[in-house]
């Protein structure tokens, strides 16, 4: 199954009061494994950058001044997102900004049924604990040493690793069965791997017949039992 883990950076907290998205980072997963495909872009918000927001992500008005506007890259973003589930931390925030930007340039909104919120997953799995991205990285041993400030792509990459752990860990596809599951490595795009990433090999049966020595030992042991219950049940006692 294909999924996209994504994160956004913005000028503030509310798109309805004029805040805009200034960065988006997306990471593709296929069967909970990163494929290496990403989408990353900065956007010119065409407005000033509040000092509080810049302190969080480090994106200044000057840095963003020569970046494309959202509508210039929207087709590439929509193509990358496709129609698969979209995973984000506190996802209603990111969905709110993403859909606001899509609406602004006259594109269809992303259905909220596609939303997977890792904050909700973390609260369910670890009630009473801290649920920030930093806290999840600490809990699951995810290296966040490169995360100096908030950045959409690096945060999406960290979240992807935490999401895998939140949903079962690296062994999510394993189960007790009579088969051996072998994952094939392939450098082709993930869409080309559907239906051929997994090879099932049937394990041949192993012989379990007792040896002559084991049969003789068993008979000798039975001979030591007086008045065995099986003799009475089959009418011989």
What is the Cα–Cα distance from 197 to 184, expressed in whole angstroms?
5
β-partners of residue 88 are 117
What is the DSSP annotation of 78-89? HHHHTTS-EEET
9 is in an annotated binding site: yes
Active site residue 150: yes
Cβ distance 11 to 22 under 8 Å?
yes
Residues in the chain: 237
What is the Cα–Cα distance from 111 to 209, expressed in whole angstroms?
60
User: Token digits for 34?
Assistant: 């990163």
155 is in an annotated binding site: yes
Among residues 89, 100, 131, 150, the one annotated as catalytic is: 150
218 is in an annotated binding site: no
Which residues are CB-contacts of 28 (< 8 A; sequence separation ≥ 6)? 2, 3, 4, 34, 35, 36, 37, 38, 80, 190
Q: What is residue 9's three-state secondary structure? A: strand
Residue among 84, 92, 105 at smallest CA distance from 39: 84
Please report, in range form, the residues annotated as the binding site for substrate. Answer: 7, 9, 57, 155
Catalytic positions, please? 150
Please report, in range form, the residues annotated as the binding site for a divalent metal cation. Answer: 7, 9, 155
């Amino acid at each position: 199954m294909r999924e996209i883990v994504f994160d956004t950076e913005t000028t503030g907290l509310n798109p309805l009061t004029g805040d805009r998205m200034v960065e988006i980072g997306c990471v593709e997963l296929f069967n909970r494994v990163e494929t290496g495909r990403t989408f990353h872009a900065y956007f010119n918000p065409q407005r000033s950058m509040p000092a509080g927001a810049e302190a969080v992500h480090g994106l200044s008005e000057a840095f963003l001044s020569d970046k494309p506007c959202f509508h210039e890259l929207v087709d590439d973003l929509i193509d990358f997102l496709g129609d698969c589930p979209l995973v984000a931390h506190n996802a209603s925030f990111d969905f709110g900004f993403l859909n606001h930007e899509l609406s602004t340039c006259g594109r269809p909104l992303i259905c909220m049924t596609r939303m997977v919120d890792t904050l909700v997953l973390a609260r369910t799995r670890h009630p009473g604990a801290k649920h920030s991205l930093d806290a999840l990285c600490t809990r699951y041993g995810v290296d966040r040493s490169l995360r100096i400030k908030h950045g959409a792509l690096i945060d999406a990459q960290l979240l992807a690793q935490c999401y895998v752990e939140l949903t079962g860990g690296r062994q999510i596809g394993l189960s007790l069965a009579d088969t051996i599951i072998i994952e094939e490595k392939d450098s082709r795009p993930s869409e080309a791997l559907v239906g051929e990433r997994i090879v099932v090999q049937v394990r041949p049966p192993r012989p379990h017949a007792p040896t002559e020595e084991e049969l003789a030992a068993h008979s000798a042991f039975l001979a030591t039992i007086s008045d065995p219950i099986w003799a009475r049940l089959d009418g011989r006692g």
